[in-house]
Amino acid sequence: MSGERLLDIKSLSVQFGGLNALNDLDFHVDKGEIVSVIGPNGAGKTTFFNMISGMVRPTSGDIVYRGESLLGLDPNQVTARGIARTFQNVRLFANMTILENVMVAQHCRTKVGVFGSLLNTPSFRREEEEIREYGKKVLGFFGSRLVGYRLEQTASVLSYANRRRLEIARAMATKPEILLLDEPVAGMNPKETEELTGLIGKLRSEWGFTIVMIEHDMKVVRDVSDRVVVLDHGETIAQGSYDKVSSDAGVIEAYLGRPIEGNAS
Amino acid sequence: MSDTAMGGTAVSDTAEFAPARAALDQDWRKVVKHGLVLGLALVFISLTGMPEGLNSRVIIEPWLSMGYLSLMWLPFAIGFAVTHEQVLEGMVQHKRGARELVAGAVVGLIGGLCLSLLVYLLDTRDLSDPLVNWNQPLLDFLTRDGSVADGVVLWLVASTTLGLFAGLMRIVPTLASRIVRAVLLTVVGAAAVEALINDLSEEFKLEGVVEWLYHPRGGLEPAGAIALAIVAAVFVLWLGRQLKKGSAVYYSARETQPHAVNAVSVLVVGTAAIVLPIFLGRLTNDLLVNVGLFVLLALGLNIVVGLAGILDLGYVAFYAVGGYTIAILTSPTSPWISPTLPFWLAIFIVVGMATLAGLFIGAPVIRMRGDYLAIVTLGFGEIIRLTVRSDWASGLTGGAQGMLSIPGPDVNIGGWTLPGIGWTFPKLEIDLMGTNPQHILYVVMFFVAVAIYVSWRLENSRIGRAWMAVREDESVAEAMGINTVTAKLQAFVVGAILASFAGAVFAAKVGTIFESSFKILVSIVILVIVIVGGMGRITGVIAGAFVLVGILGGPNQPGLMAEFSEYKLLIYGALLVWMMLKRPEGLIPNVRRSRELHQDEFLQDAWLRGEVDRDEAEGSGEVAPA
């Protein structure tokens, strides 16, 4: 937890009409951390991700990444600077092949343009080969599920769990520094969840990613996170280690509601 | 065949009356519905005046004209449609037989009744006020110059017979129906391409055969038609099998040695493209130039719509930019500046102008999505044309008077002397002057080759993948690091350049340029070509251009069936509606798009083949949601 400060979010607020989706939120991520963001439905977790990745503009506050403000940048510029995300409601390029899905994600890391492609220059061919190889390497992270004959299949034939894996692979392919994972294990069965939990650890230890994760599965949160941030109604109500947060009275109340008088145990 | 769930006592009954029962065991609602659709279609087509108009085009002299054919194909087609049965996995399929015949015949009969009613009403009532084609010639056409009773009997018998025939096609063996289809297509096709064959025969000295085959007043001779039918049948019986073998060899070769096969096909097509125009007559060459121009335009639009998913309805603007740029730069009579550059030099400036136009129109519209973008581009397409026509711009573009005497793309190279050795390059000088369609055809083919190469290279590149990602999901593409504005502008500009090539060749071919050649209809026709041919697929787009522009005719050009030109918009519309309903992926579809449109069926098939993966862990019965 003692790495350099990567992402620093200062008093971030966003309002949709009269609704305060996020209210004066402070947040930071250090290099090499795995931070989980939890909170009940509607707490503003996905809005928080949308704001970091540039898809929603904050009403006030600042997002500073490596000393540079991300405010006003387009999503593709944020990704180019090294922050990649996945989507809660899996949004793959369903009619592109699995390999193409991870190849296209390397767009901002490559540069051959129209003329290079037309003339089939050596640098075009070299780059194309590199894109392909790196794509296969990223897919190989998930074992044999996404490689082999699968490479040329369209993403639409994948099972739900594999779609989630491909989403993560696609985000990895953009060569980010910070990975934003939006509910990576949602809809997976216990065995798959356990496996992916292990992989999230490897994303840090083997690939060197810093990870911010939204998750509802408390077992996953407990197993991988260095730090847990709890949001409710757009505000941070607690943060710290899992053990500290899970015994926090405010957090329990946010999830379960206030105990009825006289019935509390 | 019949209800198997019937009680035991009914079994003997069923056996005895099986054929009759099967014949009457119809989905009568469906049959009547199809019959009424047929009737309405027949009446509608009659009242458009199309059959009368096409009556002059003879298929088989003196039996059958295109006019009668334009009505008679309908009972067959709808009879064939009504007997179509969806094959469902795991369902008991009923045995084909009398049921099909009855359904087809009843549909035909209802259609015939409707048309007979029209004949009767034509004779007794006068509705010529709202319906301009409600007149004596139509009555004469429908009764074959006979009495009303003749007409009624003719259509009742003809329509019922054709419906019955369609039902028959469902129950005869596949080979037989294939032969019938081949015979019909050959005879109608041979009559349709009569002008082409005449054109060709002069070069190949085959006038004798042609004279025997065709009647001097047009149409096939009965003997010629029979001969062609026999040839077609033999072809299906014998050659068809050989062809199947050949294509199997081709496909397996393509699997194992894709590069060699590609090289050979490029070589074969290239040689044919170079040699063929020499043997083709003026008419054929001219037709091919028109088709080529639309192939070029459609390939360009295919990049914009098919790959990047930008629905551009004002594509004609770039066609106009190319045409006017070349006119101003090469024509000696251009009103403002007339540098009279050679075509091949001017074409570089055309590329520059098209790029500017692409950026200029693209920049404001590219941030919009979907329908909004379509409407705005539609507006820009008209704005360019109206600007060109306006008094304000007439000093540059000639306004409504247009520009004249645009020279053709001459080839004038060589003649340079190498310093030192004193050897002179042979001088190559071909004077085209934009009049000889054979030479223009080479120019068109050159640009079409460029367009095919560009489409093919870009589709499988970083840029092409970015376009596809933008088409699939724009927000996600952006979140994955793609600058969607740049990607869409690139697609827009590449499309604009290809269209400007078409415009330049068009101006050089015709030798004059008027704003009326760049109406909104051109944009629509190009889009229809892309949709009908198969969006996102190069061969599909080429096929679409051949079918629509080659056979029916383009917005300003007649096609092979010159008689159709008055009704081509009607046919375009009908074709488009039919395609959207039955085959939204186009004639020769892109595998990807076809999957997109038939996602459910595709997934089901893949599931049955075991290709859709199930989550491997135990306890999870979950499969991919559609």
Interface test with A, best of B471, B480, B585 (most A CBs within 10 A): B480
What is the model's pLDDT at position A98? Answer: 93
B160 or B406: which leads in pLDDT: B160
Q: Is the pLDDT assigned to residue B66 strictly greater than 70?
A: yes
Q: Is the pLDDT assigned to residue A251 strictly greater than 70?
A: yes
Of A103, A131, A174, the CB nearest to B481: A174
Asked if residue A50 is part of any domain, the answer here is no
Write down the residue that tokens 């009764």 correspond to.
B143
B44 or B369: which leads in pLDDT: B44
What is the model's pLDDT at position B625? Answer: 40
What is the model's pLDDT at position B105? Answer: 92
Confidence of residue B21 (pLDDT cuts 50, 70, 90): low
DSSP state of B396: H
Confidence of residue B617 (pLDDT cuts 50, 70, 90): very low
Average pLDDT over residues B331-354: 86
Asked if residue A47 is part of any domain, the answer here is no
CA dist A262 → A250, A251, B233 (Å): 19, 20, 93
Please indicate whether, in this complex, the C-beta atoms of A158 and B465 are within 8 angstroms of each other: no
Q: How many domains does chain A have?
A: 2
Asked if residue A10 is part of any domain, the answer here is yes
Indicate if A187 and A260 belong to the same structural domain. yes
Of B480, B593, B614, the CB nearest to A159: B614
Write down the residue that tokens 């549909």 correspond to.
B107
- Whether chain A has a CB inside 8 Å of the CB on B583: the answer is no
pLDDT digits (tens, 9 = 90+) for B479-495: 999 999 999 999 999 99
Average pLDDT over residues A146-169: 88
- CATH number of the domain to which A17 belongs: 3.40.50.300
Nearest-Cα distance to chain B for A16, in Å, is 19
Of B482, B612, B617, the CB nearest to A107: B482
Asked if residue A87 is part of any domain, the answer here is no
Among A174, A201, A229, where does a domain finish? A174
Please indicate whether, in this complex, the C-beta atoms of A120 and B477 are within 8 angstroms of each other: no
* Whether the bond into B62 is cis, omega within 30 of 0: yes
Residue length of chain A: 265
- Whether chain A has a CB inside 8 Å of the CB on B470: the answer is no
Asked if residue A124 is part of any domain, the answer here is yes
Q: Is the pLDDT assigned to residue B512 strictly greater than 50?
A: yes
Among A127, A142, A174, where does a domain finish? A174
Q: Is the pLDDT assigned to residue A28 strictly greater than 80?
A: yes
Confidence of residue B603 (pLDDT cuts 50, 70, 90): low
Buried b (16+ CB within 10 A) or exposed e, B552-587: bbbbbbbbbbebbbebbeebbeebeeebeeeeebbb
Nearest-Cα distance to chain A for B260, in Å, is 18
Cβ-contact A47, A56 below 8 angstroms: yes
Residue length of chain B: 626
Rg (CA), chain A: 20
Among A144, A174, A204, where does a domain finish? A174
The pTM score is 0.84
Rg (CA), chain B: 29
Q: pLDDT > 70: what percent of chain B?
A: 84
Indicate if A182 and A264 belong to the same structural domain. yes
Indicate if A132 and A67 belong to the same structural domain. no
A263 or B219: which leads in pLDDT: B219
ipTM, two decimals, is 0.91
Indicate if A155 and A214 belong to the same structural domain. no
Between CA B344 and CA B282 the distance in angstroms is 24
Indicate if A76 and A184 belong to the same structural domain. yes
Nearest-Cα distance to chain B for A55, in Å, is 8
Three-class SS of residue A27?
strand
Indicate if A75 and A130 belong to the same structural domain. no
Nearest-Cα distance to chain A for B255, in Å, is 15
Between CA B561 and CA B135 the distance in angstroms is 25
Indicate if A149 and A213 belong to the same structural domain. no
Between CA B324 and CA B25 the distance in angstroms is 65
What is the model's pLDDT at position B609? Answer: 65
Asked if residue A196 is part of any domain, the answer here is yes
Between CA B407 and CA B343 the distance in angstroms is 8
Indicate if A206 and A78 belong to the same structural domain. yes
Please indicate whether, in this complex, the C-beta atoms of A96 and B469 are within 8 angstroms of each other: yes
Average pLDDT over residues B424-452: 75
Confidence of residue B88 (pLDDT cuts 50, 70, 90): low
Please indicate whether, in this complex, the C-beta atoms of B624 and A94 are within 8 angstroms of each other: no
Average pLDDT over residues A112-116: 85
What is the model's pLDDT at position B200? Answer: 76
- Whether chain A has a CB inside 8 Å of the CB on B620: the answer is yes
If contacts are CB pairs under 8 Å, which of residues 483-522 in chain B contact chain A?
483-484, 490, 494
Q: Residue A215's closest CA among A180, A183, A240?
A: A183
What is the model's pLDDT at position B4? Answer: 43
What is the model's pLDDT at position B616? Answer: 46
Between CA B602 and CA B587 the distance in angstroms is 18
Residues of A in contact with B474 (CB under 8 A): none
Tokens of A146: 């996404």
Indicate if A170 and A186 belong to the same structural domain. no
Average pLDDT over residues A227-231: 92
Q: Residue B615: closest CA among chain A residues belongs to which residue?
A: A159
Tokens of B216: 């001097």
Residues of A in contact with B481 (CB under 8 A): 76, 79-80, 84, 105, 107-109, 174
Nearest-Cα distance to chain B for A170, in Å, is 8
Please indicate whether, in this complex, the C-beta atoms of B480 and A107 are within 8 angstroms of each other: yes
Write down the residue that tokens 């045409």 correspond to.
B323
Indicate if A167 and A191 belong to the same structural domain. no
Cβ-contact A114, B453 below 8 angstroms: no
Between CA B119 and CA B139 the distance in angstroms is 6
Residues of B in contact with A159 (CB under 8 A): 612-615, 622-624
CA dist B479 → A50, A72, B475 (Å): 10, 14, 6
Between CA A133 and CA A130 the distance in angstroms is 5
Residues of A in contact with B478 (CB under 8 A): 55, 74-76
Please indicate whether, in this complex, the C-beta atoms of A113 and B463 are within 8 angstroms of each other: yes
Q: Give residue A221's domain range.
A: 1-42+57-82+176-265
Mean residue pLDDT across chain B: 82
Three-class SS of residue B60?
strand
Residues of A in contact with B619 (CB under 8 A): 189, 191
| Residue ranges per structural domain of chain B | 17-251, 264-411+423-560
Of A75, A110, A120, the CB nearest to B478: A75
Q: Is the pLDDT assigned to residue B223 strictly greater than 90?
A: no
Q: Is the pLDDT assigned to residue B358 strictly greater than 50?
A: yes
Tokens of A120: 């089939």
Indicate if A61 and A180 belong to the same structural domain. yes
Asked if residue A208 is part of any domain, the answer here is yes
Between CA A251 and CA A248 the distance in angstroms is 5
- Whether chain A has a CB inside 8 Å of the CB on B617: the answer is yes
What is the model's pLDDT at position B6? Answer: 42
Residues of A in contact with B477 (CB under 8 A): 93, 104
Buried b (16+ CB within 10 A) or exposed e, A74-105: ebbebbbbbbbbbbbebbbbbbbbbbbbbbbb
pLDDT digits (tens, 9 = 90+) for B375-425: 999 999 999 999 999 888 888 888 888 888 888 776 655 555 666 666 666
Interface test with A, best of B450, B452, B462, B601 (most A CBs within 10 A): B462
Q: Is the pLDDT assigned to residue B431 strictly greater than 80?
A: no
Angle formed by the axes of helices B484-510 and B316-330, to 10°?
50
Please indicate whether, in this complex, the C-beta atoms of A117 and B615 are within 8 angstroms of each other: no
Indicate if A121 and A243 belong to the same structural domain. no
Please indicate whether, in this complex, the C-beta atoms of B463 and A114 are within 8 angstroms of each other: yes
Q: Is the pLDDT assigned to residue B585 strictly greater than 80?
A: no
B204 or A166: which leads in pLDDT: A166
